[in-house]
Structures are given as C-alpha cells and as structure tokens.
Chain A
C-alpha cells in the first residue's frame, strides 16, 4: 500500500469516527397554555415521526385566575414532520401534525365536572437547539364527548372546551436526550 493510499484511508476512517452514532432522540419537558400546564414526553419512531405522551391539568373556570378545582387530561398523539424551515440563523424548525386520543376529567361550559374522551389533532412546530433544548408551539383541537351527572341521570354532550380551547396555543420547553 502506498503512503498516499494509506493516508487517504486514515482520513476516511477519521471522518466516519466524527459522525454521531444514529439513535432516535427522546425529549421530556413541560408545556404551558392559557388553559393549563402539563408534562410531555416524546420519542421518535423514525427520522420524521414521533409519538407524544402528555399529562396536563386544566383549570375548571377562568384560567389563570383564582384557585380552582384542578382537572386532568392525558393524551397520546402520533406526529409527522411534514416540512422543515431553516431560519436565517441556521436553526431548523420542524412543522408537525398528527392525530391522537385525549381523555380526562373536567367540567365544560354548560356541564359540571365529569369524564371526557375524544379524538385530537395536533398541529404546530418545534425547534431543537444545540443546547439540547427544544421549544415548541402547538394547537390541539379535540372532538369528543363529556359526561356529567344531572340529578339522577348521566348526561352526555359534545365537549365544547375541546373546540374552543383549541385556539389557545401551547408552548413547550423540553430537554432532548438520547441523541
């Protein structure tokens, strides 16, 4: 083997060492919205799809005033990164969308406290920075039903908060690990 060939082989070997080992990243953090706060966990199932699991609290009456009875919701959404936008600083913003399921306990505008469940759509964007911090902004409209007790009857109605609260964006701050 000539010295030039040996050098070229060493350079090629060095370049492969510089590449980060490919492993699917995971993120965990918190989300904040006018209607409540939550804990989120995301894990990538491929390079452009990820699953998000979230547990959040919703304020019963007017958020963010007064101390109210907390309500809870758990959701699981499957998301696709359908477009990447590169900012002028070189940060890549992923636009995501996907369907999912939400269930929890809450009141509604015309009903008392009770369980609810339904289908959700999650739309938004997120940007992962070099500091292993990911910022995201999303909206999650939901179409579901809500059960409440009226006298001796169980009343089932359309869950209106899932539609009206959909316009309130949710800001997420997450830490990325496993990348």
Chain B
C-alpha cells in the first residue's frame, strides 16, 4: 500500500507546472516596456474657430456634432512598477484623429492593477494624460486624455497580454477653410477642435 502511495506521489510530481521564479526575485519586473495598438471609433467632435476672412471681416464659428469615423492608433511605452498594483509609464505613439491630420501623442499613464498576485490574470484601470504634436504644417501642439479599463493575461513573469477598452479625447487644430479658401494661421485668432470616441485594443508588455 505504501509502495502504491509512493508511486502515486511520483506520478503527481510529473504534472505540476509552475512559473519559474528565482529565489529572492520579485514576482514582477521593476521596469516595463511594450507596444499597444487599438481600433478607435470617433463619435463626437466640437469646434470653435475665430479668424479674419480674406475679405477682412472677423468670423466666429462654433458647433458640435455626433458622427462616426473609424481610426486606429499605435504606441510604444516604457514604465516603472512601484509595487504589484501601480505602474507609471511614458507612452509615445501615432494616432488617426477623424478628418484631421494624424497626431503623435506623448503621454503619461498611471495604471492600477487589482488583486495582490502579479502572476495571476487580473483587471486594471488607467488614466492617460499628455500632449504631443499634430502632424501638419505648421506643426502645432495637441492635448490628449484617455481613461479606461482592461484585463491582463499573465503569460509569464515578464510577459503580459492586455486587453483594453477606453474612452479618448484629443484637442487639436484643424486647417480652416472659409468658402473653400484656406485661412492662413497668421489670420487665425482661435482654432479649437476636440474629438472624442472609444478605443478597443491590445497590448504586449514585457
């Protein structure tokens, strides 16, 4: 009987699979890096323009509308894990923004992971704020904000696969035309354009 128990014990030892972890090593890396890509659905846009028309008079236009447009975005990021629940990372990317020129956001993202075990699958939420540039002539600054949640699949100690759902908002500047005539930026007093939508994406984090 004892012999059978020993054999059963040896049987069970062949079937254990564990994530390899060296003694004294944390369950998560201190520094992180990776790539993220998302499909974006732009749903709402608002604008406020104030400029001098070619005829010389001042024009003030403002409005907003709901209209759907699909876009995409891609980022690379470098970050630091403060502990098993908090991460701060710098994101640099390239994003399509509705009918405007593409933008290159540079943002800081704070992520909060739920649960105590960094080796397990878990939910997370994040807030992403920053600026960047609008890729048109003349190059102008943009503001970017994004917040959302996601689910992290833990593939190994150093490799994670994130599924993300977020709401994003980008403030930028559009090329203004009036009666089909492009308005020179020197004749523009105000050029505000905001576009908002949702994104669905994936990220690989090392």
- Chain A residues within CB distance 8 Å of chain B: 3, 7, 10-11, 14-15, 17-18, 32, 34, 62-67, 87, 89-91, 127, 129-131, 133, 135, 171, 173
B124 at the interface (CB under 8 A from A): no
When the two chains form their complex, are residues B157 and A89 in contact, meaning their CB atoms are under 8 A apart? Answer: yes
B71 at the interface (CB under 8 A from A): yes
Question: What's the nearest-Cβ distance from chain A to residue B130, in Å?
Answer: 19
A90 to B202, CA, bound (A): 24
B26 at the interface (CB under 8 A from A): no
A145 to B62, CA, bound (A): 49
- The interface residues of chain A lying within 8 Å CB-to-CB of B17 are 130
Task: Known contacts A7-B7, A64-B95, A133-B155; decide if A15 and B71 are in contact (CB<8 Å).
Answer: no
B37 at the interface (CB under 8 A from A): yes
Question: What's the nearest-Cβ distance from chain A to residue B40, in Å?
Answer: 9
- The interface residues of chain A lying within 8 Å CB-to-CB of B158 are 87, 89
Task: Known contacts A11-B10, A90-B20; decide if A131 and B70 are in contact (CB<8 Å).
Answer: no
When the two chains form their complex, are residues A91 and B7 in contact, meaning their CB atoms are under 8 A apart? Answer: no
Q: Which of A10, A15, A32, A129 is in CB contact (< 8 Å) with B155?
A: A129
- The interface residues of chain A lying within 8 Å CB-to-CB of B73 are 64
B53 at the interface (CB under 8 A from A): no
When the two chains form their complex, are residues B161 and A65 in contact, meaning their CB atoms are under 8 A apart? Answer: no
Question: What's the nearest-Cβ distance from chain B to residue A11, in Å?
Answer: 6
> Most B CB atoms within 10 A — which of A3, A32, A63, A90?
A32
Task: Known contacts A14-B11, A129-B159; decide if A32 and B102 are in contact (CB<8 Å).
Answer: no
Nearest chain-A residue to B69 (Cβ)?
A: A67
Task: Please list 9 pairs of residues, one from A and one from B, whose beta carbons are closer than 8 Å in the complex, sorted by A's number.
Answer: A64-B94, A65-B101, A66-B99, A67-B70, A130-B156, A133-B153, A171-B35, A173-B202, A173-B204
B96 at the interface (CB under 8 A from A): yes
A50 to B72, CA, bound (A): 31
Shortest Cβ-Cβ A-B pairs, 10 listed: A64-B72, A65-B96, A18-B14, A129-B155, A65-B102, A90-B20, A14-B11, A64-B96, A32-B37, A89-B156
Question: What's the nearest-Cβ distance from chain A to residue B27, in Å?
Answer: 12
- The interface residues of chain A lying within 8 Å CB-to-CB of B94 are 64
Nearest chain-A residue to B154 (Cβ)?
A: A131
A53 to B169, CA, bound (A): 37
Question: What's the nearest-Cβ distance from chain B to residue A49, in Å?
Answer: 25
Question: What's the nearest-Cβ distance from chain B to residue A32, in Å?
Answer: 5
A89 to B101, CA, bound (A): 43
A127 to B102, CA, bound (A): 33
- The interface residues of chain A lying within 8 Å CB-to-CB of B204 are 135, 171, 173
Cβ proximity bits B62-106 to A, threshold 8 Å, 1 near / 0 not? 000000011111100000000000000000001111010110000
